[in-house]
Structures are given as structure tokens and as C-alpha cells.
Amino acid sequence: MIRYALLCENAHEFEGWFGSSDDFDDQAGRGLLECPACGSKAVSKQIMAPAVAGTRKLGAADEGPSRQMMMEAKGRMRRHVEENFDYVGDRFAREARDIHEGKSEERGIYGEASAKEVKALVEDGVPVAPLPPALPKKSEVN
């Protein structure tokens, strides 16, 4: 399998997995590739460095600072959403669709939705993204 960094004509970045380089070319040529954010079928490969397996295994010590930095960034993003967006609870899918269709006021929202609801929103071009999970409190960690 080959992983490609992809880019649509609207500058949305995402990735895709293909059996071979020819598979990418075939799917792109037949218009089967689509941006998950906007639905554009004008998708191209980005320049990326190949993933080369090394001889040294990464251990927990190698992951420490990077992992910690990512966890902190996820926590900041979640706090920003909780402090600045409207919580709509289990009405998230309906409200996101209404905002997308112009039936409701344009604003940031967050809430809960089933996997089926999220899939339908994405298929209909409604921009949604998962909210990072809440970080455990230091008193709850061993």
C-alpha cells in the first residue's frame, strides 16, 4: 500500500491509501477521488518525503516531547471550542445541516452525533470534524 498526501483545488489537504501508483492514476482519471471536506474531484498528489523504515525502534522516550506537545495542543483546541462555540447536544447533526443550508444562524457549534449522522453530513458536504477527547485531570492519572 502507498499513502499519498493529497490536495484538492480548494487547498484542502488529506491523505489516501492506494495499492500502487497506477491505482491512484486510474482512480483520478476516472473521477473517483473526492475531497472529504468539499467534495471537489480535482485532486492531486502533494510532494512528500518517503517513509523509510530505520533500523532503530522508537521507544517511549523518543515519543515523550512530541506526544506531550500534541496532547497539549488537542487540549487547547477543545478548550477553545468549549469556550467559544455553542453547545447543541444531541441536536448537532440537525443544527449543522441547518447552518450549512442557511436555515440557521452561521456560528460555531459542537455536540454529539452518531456515526451514521456524521457520515450523512460528510456525504452531503457539511463541514464537520471530531472534537478531541477531554484530557484526564492530573488527579485522575496514575
- In this predicted structure, which of 14-23, 43-52, 81-90, 124-133 has the lowest mean pLDDT? 43-52
- Choose from 6-10, 28-32, 68-72, 120-124 the range with maximum mean pLDDT: 120-124
Q: Could you give the CA distance from residue 125 to residue 115 in angstroms, rounded to a whole number?
A: 15
Q: For residue range 26-69, list pLDDT tens digits in order.
A: 888 888 899 888 888 999 988 766 666 655 555 555 566 777 78
Question: Is residue 57, in this structure, part of any structural domain at all?
Answer: no
Tell me, yes or no, whether 70 and 127 share the same domain. Answer: yes
Q: Could you give the number of structural domains in the chain?
A: 2
Look at residue 117 and tell me if it is in a domain.
yes
What is the rounded average pLDDT for all residues in the chain? 84
Structural domain boundaries enclosing 90: 65-134
In this structure, are 41 and 77 located in the same domain? Answer: no
Report whether 88 contacts 95 (CB < 8 A): yes
Nearest alpha carbon to residue 80 among 118, 110, 104: 110
